[in-house]
């Protein structure tokens, strides 16, 4: 029992070094068994399936790899065993990637027991709290919290310590065309630019995105362009908070009424997305629509 308590205290220190707060640690490790630090072959590790980060800064990875060559990996990564001889990374994917760049064969790790829900909570919540995700990565993280953890927008906002309008506005980025979303991921346009594109039809959004990139337009430039194209709305803010709140409330009402989370509402359309044909068929049957 004393050894288990010591392991837990050591893990708390390592989690703190990884930027993981003790509140989250207590929630996800309530019934977990924790082992001591071990060396695990890199070939036995797989990335975290719930990792919200899509892009990793290659320059910073190379800098970390150079440091690992000189000093090794100072802070162990956290993993869970998924089968004999194979482990999934809970936290520490950058150190794992940098260790591969440094041609290391093993990496120090702590093995702990996590279920999928706990893994997702750590990966999504903690990465968002570090505030260095792109707008799309953050938006997709919020969407995953809704889909897989059952959070409402209000719960996400409370958990993240963010205004609900911030969560709602980022989620609306997921209604943008794929080309625009990719431009945000690639940091060719900012989240501020993207928020102004929400509500345009897909062709307009893509065309304006290309213009932003080509002409290096600022957010203020884009606001001006949109106002010029809407002469009757010059006195109305581009992002009207009352309208945003109205659409957010309608979204949540529809999601609750239809028991389906992937519903988006804006001033021009209602979008209902499905992960599979079976999900679509089940949805149609549930709301008793005869085709």
Active site positions, annotated: 93
User: Would you mind telling me the total number of residues written for the chain in this entry?
Assistant: 291
d(CA 17, CA 286): 48
Mapped onto helix, strand or coil, the DSSP state of residue 78 is strand
Question: Each residue of 229-282: pLDDT tens digit?
Answer: 765 544 445 455 556 667 777 877 788 788 887 787 876 778 888 877 778 877
**pLDDT, position 18:** 52
On whether the pTM is more than 0.75, the answer is no
How far is it, in rounded angstroms, from Cα 197 to Cα 206? 9
For helices 135-149 and 178-185, the axis angle rounded to 10 degrees is 110
Residue of 88, 66, 68, 70 lying closest to 79 (CA atoms): 88
User: What region, left, alpha or beta, does residue 103 occupy, with left being phi > 0 and alpha being psi -120 to 50 degrees?
Assistant: left
| Cα 189 to Cα 173: distance, rounded to the nearest angstrom | 13
CA 247 to chain centre: 22
Mean pLDDT per segment of 10 residues, for the chain of length 291 residues?
Answer: 54 54 51 70 89 76 92 88 89 89 93 79 68 82 84 86 89 94 92 92 94 93 85 49 66 80 77 80 71 48
The pLDDT of residue 234 is 44
Res 159: pLDDT: 80
Kindly indicate whether the domain formed by 2-122 is annotated with CATH number 2.60.40.10.
no
Say what the pLDDT of residue 182 is.
93
- What is the pLDDT, as a whole number, of residue 21? 47
């Amino acid at each position: 029992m004393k050894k288990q308590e010591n392991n837990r205290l050591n893990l708390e220190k390592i989690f703190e070094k990884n930027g993981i707060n003790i509140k989250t640690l207590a929630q996800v490790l309530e019934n977990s068994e924790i082992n001591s630090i071990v060396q695990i072959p890199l070939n036995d590790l797989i990335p975290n399936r719930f990792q919200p980060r899509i892009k990793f800064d290659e320059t910073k990875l190379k800098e970390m790899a150079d440091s690992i060559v000189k000093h090794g990996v100072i802070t162990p990564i956290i993993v869970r065993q998924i089968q004999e001889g194979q482990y999934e990374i809970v936290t520490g994917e950058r150190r794992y990637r940098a260790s591969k760049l440094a041609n290391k064969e093993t990496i120090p790790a702590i093995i702990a027991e996590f279920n999928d829900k706990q893994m997702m909570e750590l990966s999504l919540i903690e990465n968002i709290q570090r505030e260095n995700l792109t707008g799309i990565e953050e938006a997709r993280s919020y969407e995953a919290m809704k889909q897989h953890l059952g959070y409402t927008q209000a719960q996400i906002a409370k958990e993240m310590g963010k205004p609900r309008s911030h969560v709602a506005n980022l989620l609306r980025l997921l209604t943008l065309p794929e080309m625009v979303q990719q431009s945000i991921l690639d940091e060719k346009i900012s989240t501020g630019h993207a928020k102004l594109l929400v509500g345009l039809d897909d062709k307009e959004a893509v065309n304006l995105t290309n213009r932003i990139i080509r002409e290096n337009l600022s957010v203020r430039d884009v606001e001006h362009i949109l106002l010029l194209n809407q002469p009757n709305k010059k006195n109305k803010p581009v992002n009207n908070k009352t309208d945003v709140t109205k659409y957010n409330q309608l979204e949540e009402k529809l999601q609750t009424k239809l028991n389906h989370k992937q519903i988006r509402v804006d001033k021009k359309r209602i979008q209902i997305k499905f992960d599979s044909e079976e999900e679509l068929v089940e949805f149609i049957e549930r709301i008793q629509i005869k085709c």
